């Protein structure tokens, strides 16, 4: 079934949610057709192909695992990751996510690509799983003593997913790949992301996509500035996507 549009009420930073929602509804009513319209995750677009809505395997995986308002609202971001991860299947190398939190996007990508059948590859997931007040990233609702076990249970059917608890990049001594075909950085922390790039960039294989979740968001501008300086110094530039992500192809 082709879905013609996708509407979520996830908007970060709005002051008066009911009024803002009303304006979006009025705007949508002004359109000749809702086909090709997308709202959510601080995006309002219309008259677009929204190709990911026609990818049944992706949408089935997304709908199975995206449960909260935020998870459902970041569909377009998740579709970027799905594209980058699918691109990785024509390369040799493993998958890495720093950091995975509840593992939702990684679980969607595993289902989408039937990652369990990729016996020669491993998906490395890292997180602290508990909030560490000494670090700049913010506390998230599910952080706590049980999260690590819950994420392990979420991937218990997949032998080629390795979950490492602890602070990156220090925790790479426990487990880390030699060759990386897909790298997703989502630490909300410029210093840690730069340290991860220092540790892993040389292991990213040519043609692999690096997705920087926070790059385009004003709230996380320190990350953009740090990434621009880091990549510029190595002759790469980051593409800012309308989703708020940054994209680098090595």
- Nearer of residues 80 and 188 to ligand SAM, judged by Cβ: 188
d(CA 202, CA 196): 11
Q: How many CB atoms lie within 10 A of CB 42?
A: 17
- 31 and 46 in contact (C-beta within 8 Å)? yes
- Nearer of residues 137 and 250 to ligand SAM, judged by Cβ: 137
Angle, vertex CA 162, rays to CA 88 and CA 69, nearest 5: 75
- Nearer of residues 37 and 105 to ligand SAM, judged by Cβ: 105
Please give the residue ranges that form the binding site for ligand SAM (CB under 6 A). 97, 99-102, 104-105, 126-128, 135, 137, 140, 167-168, 186-189, 192
- Nearer of residues 37 and 189 to ligand SAM, judged by Cβ: 189
- Nearer of residues 101 and 123 to ligand SAM, judged by Cβ: 101
> 99, 104, 213, 96: which is closest to 150 by C-alpha?
104
Sheet holding 6-7, edge to edge: 6-7, 38-40, 43-45
- 227 and 212 in contact (C-beta within 8 Å)? yes
Please report the sign of the dihedral spanned by the C-alpha atoms of residue 47, residue 51, residue 57, residue 62.
negative
Least distance in Å: CB of 215 to ligand SAM? 13
- 113 and 150 in contact (C-beta within 8 Å)? no
- Nearer of residues 25 and 139 to ligand SAM, judged by Cβ: 139
Least distance in Å: CB of 189 to ligand SAM? 5
Task: List CB contacts of 23: < 8 A, sequence separation 6 or more.
Answer: none
- Nearer of residues 24 and 135 to ligand SAM, judged by Cβ: 135
Least distance in Å: CB of 106 to ligand SAM? 7
Least distance in Å: CB of 209 to ligand SAM? 15
Least distance in Å: CB of 185 to ligand SAM? 9
Least distance in Å: CB of 247 to ligand SAM? 16
Least distance in Å: CB of 78 to ligand SAM? 8
d(CA 181, CA 216): 23
Cα dihedral value 31, 36, 38, 44, nearest 10: -50
């Amino acid at each position: 079934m082709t879905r013609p549009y996708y509407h979520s009420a996830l908007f970060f930073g709005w002051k008066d949610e009911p009024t803002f929602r009303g304006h979006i509804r009025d705007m949508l009513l002004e359109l000749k057709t809702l086909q090709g319209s997308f709202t959510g995750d601080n995006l309002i677009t219309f008259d677009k192909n929204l190709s990911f809505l026609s990818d049944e395997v992706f949408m089935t995986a997304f709908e199975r695992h995206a449960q909260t308002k935020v998870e459902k609202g970041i569909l377009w971001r998740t579709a970027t990751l799905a594209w980058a991860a699918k691109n990785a299947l024509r390369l040799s190398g493993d998958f890495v996510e720093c950091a995975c939190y509840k593992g939702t996007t990684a679980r969607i990508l595993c289902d989408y690509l039937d990652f369990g059948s990729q016996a020669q590859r491993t998906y490395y997931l890292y997180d602290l799983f508990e909030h560490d007040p000494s670090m700049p990233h913010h506390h998230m609702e599910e952080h706590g003593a049980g999260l690590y076990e819950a994420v392990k249970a979420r991937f218990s059917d997949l032998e080629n997913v390795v979950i490492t608890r602890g602070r990156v990049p220090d925790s790479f001594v426990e487990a880390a790949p030699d060759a990386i075909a897909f790298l997703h950085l989502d630490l909300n922390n410029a210093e840690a992301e730069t340290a991860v790039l220092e540790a892993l960039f040389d292991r990213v294989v040519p043609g692999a996509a690096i997705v920087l979740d926070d790059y385009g968001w004003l709230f996380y501008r320190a990350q953009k500035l740090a990434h621009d300086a880091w990549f510029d110094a190595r002759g790469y530039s980051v593409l800012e996507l309308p989703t708020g992500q940054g994209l680098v192809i090595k």
